[in-house]
Amino acid sequence: MKIRCIAIDDEPLALKQIGAYIVRTPFLEKIALCSNAFEALEFIREDQVDLLLVDINMPDLNGLDFVKSLERKIPVIFTTAYSEYAIDGFQVDALDYLLKPISYAMFLKSANKAKAWFDLNNKDGEIIQQPMDYLFIKAEHRLIRIHLSEIKYIEGSNEYIIIHQLKEKPLTTLMRMKNIETLLPENHFLRVHRSFIVNLNHVKVIERNRIIFDEKIYIPIGEQYKENFQKFLDKTFYI
């Protein structure tokens, strides 16, 4: 599946160049080239757009304000001739920032960052299954590698998840519970509550429908998840 892109730039030559780079990149698809943010809004309303390549310094509505104004969050790579805008770009959680003049090598590096993000989250926010013992999570404006064996449990909080690890600090990322659940191997991870997924390898104490990791961490077992958890107990625990 290709990543569907819109490029926005008020400079015709720069816009044409970005368009050519998109066409040259096998995993990208050019949807539109727009000379201003208002023109881009029409395509976003009427078509599926996966990625924006936006010049920051544009008249009427600049790239930063345009991205902030969108009703739904769309991954973005900012382009600009002014390096002082880089920090502002990352404050709106941009995937990357390209400083003009932009070579194809620079563009491809950013495109690969976008692809890494989409390999974790497709256009519907779903996770692509990976037969690996680790995964990459986007947190703190970086892609961070986490070994599955180091995950203690995962906690859901609205549209975010918090990954609690054995040794490292918890990581928070924009992802839904059902999406991370599809990525984790079923023989090691089990959802035991609407808001919790546990690593079964680290479950040692169960009391009163709760998993006790230590004196401060009690994970409740939800009513609708009791049957699956009991199946796990039946296979692994003997009295």
State residue 158's pLDDT score: 82
User: Does the reported pTM lie above 0.75?
Assistant: no
Q: DSSP labels for 114-179?
A: HHHHHHHS-TTSPPPP--SSEEEEEETTEEEEEEGGGEEEEEEETTEEEEEESSSPPEEEE--HHH
State residue 91's pLDDT score: 52
User: Does residue 67 form part of some domain?
Assistant: yes
User: Does residue 146 form part of some domain?
Assistant: yes
Indicate whether 22 and 116 sit together in one domain.
yes
User: Does residue 209 form part of some domain?
Assistant: yes
Indicate whether 103 and 147 sit together in one domain.
no
Q: CA 108 to CA 102: how far, in whole Å?
A: 10
Indicate whether 7 and 54 sit together in one domain.
yes
Which of 69, 92, 120 is at the close of a domain?
120
pLDDT digits over 110-136, tens only? 999 899 888 877 644 444 444 457 777
CATH number at residue 217: 2.40.50.1020
Indicate whether 102 and 173 sit together in one domain.
no
User: Does residue 201 form part of some domain?
Assistant: yes
User: Does residue 129 form part of some domain?
Assistant: no
On the CB side of 5, CA atoms within 13 Å amount to 28
State residue 130's pLDDT score: 42
CATH number at residue 69: 3.40.50.2300
Indicate whether 8 and 48 sit together in one domain.
yes
User: Does residue 126 form part of some domain?
Assistant: no
Indicate whether 77 and 100 sit together in one domain.
yes
For the chain, the domain total comes to 2
User: Does residue 143 form part of some domain?
Assistant: yes
**Confidence band, pLDDT 50/70/90 cuts, at residue 187:** confident
Indicate whether 48 and 103 sit together in one domain.
yes
Domain housing 193:
134-236
pLDDT digits over 61-95, tens only? 778 888 888 877 889 999 988 765 544 544 567 88
User: Does residue 8 form part of some domain?
Assistant: yes
